[in-house]
Amino acid sequence: MLRQTFARSIRLNSTVAKAAPRPLSNAYVNKLEARWESLPQTDKNALINDLRERMKVSWNELTVAEKKAAYYISYGGWGPRAPMYGPNDKSKIFWGTMAGMGAGLAVFLFLKFTFVKKTLTNNREWQEKSDEYLKSQNANPFTGYSQVQ
């Protein structure tokens, strides 16, 4: 058991150099943002895997185009990070909301002015009789009991 542990530690600490993946061609990774949506899914997956292998080496060995492509693939506006709204969608949402609010206001005003019902307790006689009743019951004399508006 000790021999296996010793052999394993020698194998892990060996000085055998691993071959670094070759740099990707500029034509393959250049201006990726512009052509990402038009790439087929197989090419996208291949490019992601190639960049993943390439990023295992030191970051200083990557070309500028590879760094830009890796950043776009990791944090770019595609897939789940794609913008929720297009360029004209915000104005459509705003004007749709305004139209809905205007329609609601129109319905409210129509109902308010066409079906007006005068309440029984809103006339002056009722309010004066309420005052008399409150006086007879000795209702809260400190804050007043006037019902007349």
Give the whole-angstrom CA distance, residue 129 versus residue 138: 14
pLDDT tens per residue across span 100-140 = 999 999 999 999 889 877 777 778 888 888 888 888 877 77
pLDDT at site 99: 98
pLDDT tens per residue across span 72-90 = 888 888 877 888 888 889 9
Q: Confidence band (pLDDT; 50, 70, 90) for 147?
A: low
Answer whether 0.85 is exceeded by the pTM.
Answer: no
The amino acid that residue 147 corresponds to is Q
Q: How far is CA 86 from the centre of its chain?
A: 14
Of 65-69, 113-117, 145-149, minimum mean pLDDT range:
145-149
Question: Token digits for 52?
Answer: 């993943």
pLDDT greater than 60 at residue 62? yes
